[in-house]
Amino acid sequence: MKNILLGITGGIAAYKSVELCRRLRDVGYQVRVVMTASATEFVTPLTFQAVSGFPVHRDIFDEAAEAAMGHIELARWADRILIAPTTADFIAKLAHGLADDLLSTICLASQASISIAPAMNQQMWQAEATQANLQQLIQRKVQIIGPGVGDQACGEQGPGRMLEPLAIIDELLQPVSQALAGQHWLITAGPTREAIDPVRFLSNNSSGKMGYAIAKAAQRMGAKVTLVSGPVSIDVPAGVSRVAVVTAEQMEQAVMQQVSDADVFVACAAVADYKPAAIAEQKIKKNAKTMEIKLIKNPDILQQVGALKNKPLCIGFAAETENVEYYAKDKLQRKNLDMICANNVAKKDIGFDSEENELVLYCKNGDSVALDQNAKYTIASDLVSEIKNRFF
């Protein structure tokens, strides 16, 4: 599922769809936006053009568009259609198969699955007509995302608020399969922090995005997922349980507590190799011209898991800046892993703290697989599928 057509209809919540559009791109979708005439009263097409990176489609009788990508082409292009916000009016149109504007015509002409995120005044939502229309859509397997309950733009309270962009994406990505049902995946993510004194620490550039994306992808395929995470500022994916840690030692303890129950261990965290031998009790003052911090080795969590008698399937990560293949293969062997995911973090645009990544997977049996540069969630989904297909 790579191509998503984002339909915007004429509700006040259209402003939230600007962020939604950006977030859809973050999780790996190519987005084309189609707006109804009313929607353009709320947000300009130019805004969506800038955020999606493509011209916005509005008019069914647009000769220029027809030549390049008319309503049928857009209908075929889409793997998925998401309409957010969806007005009461558009729900009625969908339910009755109307095709009097570009968006409704595309919906009728497409085989893509349709998801809608309704947004409207609570009376409009609860109106008998709207509810009857919704029932028809549910019967036709249209996915209804939300709405939420609470304060409304019109000053009323009740059901009808459009869900927030991330919540919509979480619903949209609900288990695509049950391929990993019954399995427990234990995943580490993010950096660790090793204190020097009460206000300073040693750490690294890991954002945690890759580990979180893997957790999300495994959960979407039906696995029970435990994410042991160092300090990061990312929301926990829906359905994933997180154990928050700070230091390598805490991460080691959390992993060793969970590992006997795990089928798969993915070590994606950038664990600090060393920590200060002693933590100063008070903030260190800058009196001396130079200073030295003595470092001692941290526990090697992946090595410990790889050495267990009943070890789970072990997947490691090797973030390297040179000789990537050599170091990755060495780590694969030394730590008794089943697969290692190598990435060259010296490359611009991928790796630490970026939105994209590219990996080469080296397997115990000598196979290697390249996952070309893409959004981290797409890479994560491909990685989880590869693990599933090879080992289960």
Residue 317 assigned ligand-binding role: yes
What CA dihedral angle connects 140, 91, 18 and 16, to 10 degrees? -110
- Residue 90 interacts with ligand FMN (CB under 6 A)? yes
Question: How far is residue 175's CA from residue 69's CA, in Å, rounded to a whole number?
Answer: 31
Q: Verify binding: residue 89, ligand FMN, rule CB under 6 A.
A: yes
Tokens of 123: 């009376």
Residue 195 structure tokens? 């204190």
For ligand FMN, the binding residue among 7, 9, 248, 351 (CB under 6 A) is 9
Angle at 370 between CA 366 and CA 374, to 5 degrees: 155
The Cα 131–Cα 120 span in angstroms is 13
Q: How far apart are CA 10 and CA 86, in angstroms?
A: 8
* Residues 31-70, interacting with ligand FMN (CB under 6 A): 36, 38-39
Only segment of 45-53, 87-95, 185-193, 315-323 that touches ligand FMN (CB under 6 A): 87-95
Of 154, 268, 341, 363, the catalytic one is 154
- The CA distance from 198 to 26, in Å, is 36
Minimum Å gap between C-beta 90 and ligand FMN is 4
Three-state DSSP at 259 gives: helix
Q: Is 301 annotated as a binding residue?
A: yes
Q: What is the DSSP string of 108-146?
A: HH--SEEEEEE---HHHHHSHHHHHHHHHHHHTTPEE--
Segment interacting with ligand FMN, rule: CB under 6 A, options 4-12, 184-192, 216-224, 310-318: 4-12
237: tokens are: 């994916």
The nearer residue to ligand FMN, 88 or 267, going by C-beta atoms, is 88
By CB under 6 A, is residue 74 in contact with ligand FMN? no
Number of residues near ligand FMN (by CB under 6 A): 15
When asked if residue 87 is in the footprint of ligand FMN (CB under 6 A), the reply is yes
- Rounded Cα gap, residues 31 and 50, in angstroms: 12
Q: Cβ neighbours of residue 348 under 8 Å, at least 6 residues apart?
A: none
Binding status of residue 95 toward ligand FMN by CB under 6 A: no
Say how far apart CA 254 and CA 154 lie, in whole Å: 48
Task: Quote the least distance from Cβ 227 to ligand FMN, whole Å.
Answer: 36
Q: Are 359 and 341 in contact (CB under 8 A)?
A: yes
Query: Which stretch in 88-96, 180-188, 264-272, 346-354 sits in contact with ligand FMN by CB under 6 A?
Result: 88-96
Stretch that binds ligand FMN, among 46-54, 70-78, 118-126, 267-275 (CB under 6 A): 118-126
Of 88, 264, 379, 387, which lies in the binding site for ligand FMN, with binding defined by CB under 6 A? Answer: 88
107 binds ligand FMN per the rule CB under 6 A: no
Sign of dihedral through CA atoms 85, 91, 97, 101?
A: negative
Do 14 and 85 touch, CB atoms closer than 8 A? yes
154 catalytically annotated: yes
Q: Based on the shown chain and the rule CB under 6 A, indicate whether residue 12 belongs to the binding site for ligand FMN.
A: yes
Residues 119-148 that bind ligand FMN (CB under 6 A): 119-120, 124
Give the catalytic positions in this structure.
Answer: 154
**Which amino acids are annotated as binding site, given as ranges?**
273, 283, 299-302, 317, 331, 335
**Which amino acids are annotated as binding site for CTP, given as ranges?**
273, 283, 299-302, 317, 331, 335
Residues of the shown chain interacting with ligand FMN in the complex, contacts defined by CB under 6 A: 9-13, 36, 38-39, 87-90, 119-120, 124
